[in-house]
Chains A and B, each alone.
Chain A
């Protein structure tokens, strides 16, 4: 056969070249998609997506799965839908605990050990204590939301009142609020606004003073076998805010707070810069809502920031809470998921927490790191006193975590607290009666959930 040699050579070449081509094609197609689910707006996730895809080029490709919201049900449905999710986020410590107990998430401790890290070194002891679930870690905080007092400097100037300073007392806060309150009816301007009673996602800030005095897991006794609403700190705390709301009438009353939706953070910030109230207790990320995309800030707005007061004064203790990220147990490639969660929470928190104006969940070790992150949070926020915010955040403070990863009937307990406080702040129940109800019914809930 005339072309036998040529045909043989061609076939042999084909046998060698084809697998090589296939291998190279496989290498190109080997870029593994990884899926990150959260409720953050796409715009705020863009820096993370772009940076991750650049840093892991040829290895992983980040795909963002936008959830409607952070509600328990939304996340549960996403987790049980069978969709590919490598990293899931959540705002609730209680939800995290339930999912961890149900085997929905992977224990991340082996990954930390493989990296040669300890959880405490990375996140600090306060967060470690909250996230440690029977010796395992099922989530890493991607942010830490610190509660502070935002204030409208213009209103202070007009009233001739000095700006508050770190180390002030709750009594100073009250007197300042009284001095700043004026007007009647629809034109009334209040000295302060805070989510003092639970309502549709609002915070129960009526217990702030108790939290400052008693620390984390404030509702439970030391061995989590009962509540501790009989503790005098609760009475002090509730009486204080009750007096401000019902007697001094210097904080936005409950009825207005619910009707005007001040429990929604962007509305809270709008109330502050529109001179509806002079001080607002809220997380640092409240600053995000001065951005134009949430509404135009009026000309001349000047918002300041100060640490939360304490009962005795002279110190700065404030509450904080975290949102966390976890790896679902059914994810296809746990190592890829670990690379992603590590990137979001530990290596580059500036790319996810930063654009949301949140502090990172990890501990920033040096003053330079802290300054850089604070600058990221406070820069380009119209109407906000950047220098004051930077100076305030540079101060040392003790943080008390509000997160609760203890089961013991926590959701039922929270419902009881919400229901009881709506009665108190609508003037239908005394503070003594409320705390007695919380103690009696709360203990029954905890006992039933042991």
Chain B
């Protein structure tokens, strides 16, 4: 056997386990969901009773008010939660990196929400958000706000409340990544800037942010992808309510598939979600490539 062939085979052998896993647990389900999206299917009746309905499930989405609300809410969640979480983590990471004692403890404190169970965290936030005597509104009332928000119990603030919980949970992970990125920025750049008379703000905008561009790009991508898949806080805290004010796409897919047993329609929506994430990720990558060029 030629050397080149042997090397190729060894390479394939190394990645084969991962490839098999990818095919079995990612690609096959993805294709199956694609097939199911053109059918009327429920799990109890099984595949024998599966009925091909063409693009009916996709057409149905256009007339589905809750689907439209869920898509809008998902996009809103992503475009508010991601920048806010990244901006706050950037500020906090710079502070943690340079301006506090006990960095390790502080980092741990900020990272803890990220490793906490979202179900448990959501239940605690439900109590914090209680309009009548929850700690948040008690503080607001003590500060003189007579009619504090009803948070999870009002259509106008339910999604914002979920975003707050999302930001709070996401911060720890973002801070750790940004802190790692900050270590890669050479101190000599800051020293040179100081000699040139740059102040803190100028150093932040002209050295720190450009130096973190790859890190921020990575965080933006990861955060957007995960924010499109937000589910647990909605399921635990609001179940999409009041009304449908906080319904998001994954929650609606879950509801259709597993509560209403409409697997075909849910699969079609899952494909739309996949396309949304795909289009966004591709656009973001293109933007980044252009910027690098």
Q: Is A135's CB within 8 Å of the partner chain B?
A: no
- Contact A412-B260, Cβ < 8 Å, known A76-B44, A102-B49, A104-B45: yes
- Contact A103-B239, Cβ < 8 Å, known A72-B261, A73-B257, A415-B255: no
Contacting pair B133 A186 (CB below 8 A): yes
Contacting pair B260 A428 (CB below 8 A): no
- Contact A199-B44, Cβ < 8 Å, known A72-B259, A256-B132: no
Contacting pair B44 A258 (CB below 8 A): no
Contacting pair B43 A426 (CB below 8 A): no
Of A112-120, A356-364, A416-424, the one contacting chain B is A416-424
In angstroms, Cα B153 to Cα A72, docked, is 28
- Of A75, A103, A199, A415, which contacts B45 at CB under 8 A? A103
Contacting pair A426 B153 (CB below 8 A): yes
Nearest CB in chain B: distance from A419 CB, A: 5
Q: Is A389's CB within 8 Å of the partner chain B?
A: no
1/0 per residue, CB under 8 A from A, across B121-135: the answer is: 001001101111100
Q: Is A259's CB within 8 Å of the partner chain B?
A: yes
Mark out the residues of chain A between 50 and 92 whose CB falls within 8 Å of any chain B CB in the assembled complex. 71-73, 75-77, 79-80
- Contact A199-B239, Cβ < 8 Å, known A186-B133, A253-B132, A258-B126: yes
Q: Is B172's CB within 8 Å of the partner chain A?
A: no
Contacting pair B261 A76 (CB below 8 A): yes
Q: Is B264's CB within 8 Å of the partner chain A?
A: no
Contacting pair B44 A426 (CB below 8 A): no
- Contact A411-B42, Cβ < 8 Å, known A200-B239, A419-B241: no
Nearest CB in chain B: distance from A63 CB, A: 22
Contacting pair A256 B43 (CB below 8 A): no
Mark out the residues of chain B between 151 and 187 whose CB falls within 8 Å of any chain A CB in the assembled complex. 152-155
Contacting pair B155 A423 (CB below 8 A): yes
In angstroms, Cα B153 to Cα A177, docked, is 24
Mark out the residues of chain B between 229 and 244 whose CB falls within 8 Å of any chain A CB in the assembled complex. 239-244
Q: Which residues of A contact B104 (CB under 8 A)?
A: none
Q: Which residues of B contact A99 (CB under 8 A)?
A: 44-45
Interface size class of B (residues with CB under 8 A): 20 to 34
Residue of A nearest to B126 (CB): A259
Contacting pair B155 A428 (CB below 8 A): yes
In angstroms, Cα B104 to Cα A304, docked, is 56
Residue of A nearest to B255 (CB): A415
Contacting pair B44 A255 (CB below 8 A): no
1/0 per residue, CB under 8 A from A, across B243-274: the answer is: 11000000000010111110000000000000
Residue of B nearest to A104 (CB): B44
Contacting pair A98 B150 (CB below 8 A): no
Contacting pair A426 B260 (CB below 8 A): no
Mark out the residues of chain B between 27 and 55 whose CB falls within 8 Å of any chain A CB in the assembled complex. 42-46, 49
Q: Which residues of B contact A378 (CB under 8 A)?
A: none
- Contact A73-B153, Cβ < 8 Å, known A102-B49, A259-B130, A422-B243: no
Interface size class of A (residues with CB under 8 A): 35 or more
Q: Which residues of B contact A185 (CB under 8 A)?
A: 132-133
1/0 per residue, CB under 8 A from B, across A263-294: the answer is: 00000000000000000000000000000000
Scoring B150, B242, B258, B261 by chain A CB atoms within 10 A of each residue's CB, the highest score goes to B242
Q: Is A254's CB within 8 Å of the partner chain B?
A: yes
In angstroms, Cα B46 to Cα A429, docked, is 41
1/0 per residue, CB under 8 A from B, across A207-241: the answer is: 00000000000000000000000000000000000
Q: Which residues of A contact B132 (CB under 8 A)?
A: 185, 253, 255-256
In angstroms, Cα B223 to Cα A18, docked, is 72
Nearest CB in chain B: distance from A336 CB, A: 22
In angstroms, Cα B240 to Cα A80, docked, is 29
- Contact A256-B130, Cβ < 8 Å, known A73-B43, A419-B244: yes
Nearest CB in chain A: distance from B241 CB, A: 4
Q: Which residues of A contact B257 (CB under 8 A)?
A: 73
- Of B123, B154, B244, B259, which contacts A426 at CB under 8 A? B154
Contacting pair B42 A422 (CB below 8 A): no
Q: Which residues of A contact B261 (CB under 8 A)?
A: 72-73, 76, 95, 98, 411
In angstroms, Cα B127 to Cα A256, docked, is 8
Q: Which residues of B contact A258 (CB under 8 A)?
A: 126
In angstroms, Cα B250 to Cα A70, docked, is 22
- Of B131, B150, B239, B258, which contacts A72 at CB under 8 A? B258
Contacting pair A422 B127 (CB below 8 A): no
Given A95-B44, A259-B127, A418-B239: 18 more A-B contacts, CB < 8 Å? A76-B261, A79-B43, A80-B43, A104-B45, A254-B153, A255-B152, A258-B126, A259-B129, A260-B127, A261-B123, A412-B260, A415-B260, A419-B240, A422-B243, A423-B241, A423-B242, A426-B150, A426-B155
A-B contact pairs, 11 of them (CB 8 A): A72-B259, A73-B258, A73-B261, A80-B43, A95-B44, A104-B44, A253-B132, A255-B132, A259-B127, A411-B261, A429-B243
**Which residues of A are interface residues toward B (Cβ below 8 A)?**
71-73, 75-77, 79-80, 95, 98-99, 102-104, 185-186, 188, 199-200, 253-256, 258-261, 411-412, 415, 418-420, 422-423, 426, 428-429
Question: What 3 A-B pairs have minimum CB-CB distances, sorted nearest first?
Answer: A102-B45, A76-B43, A422-B241
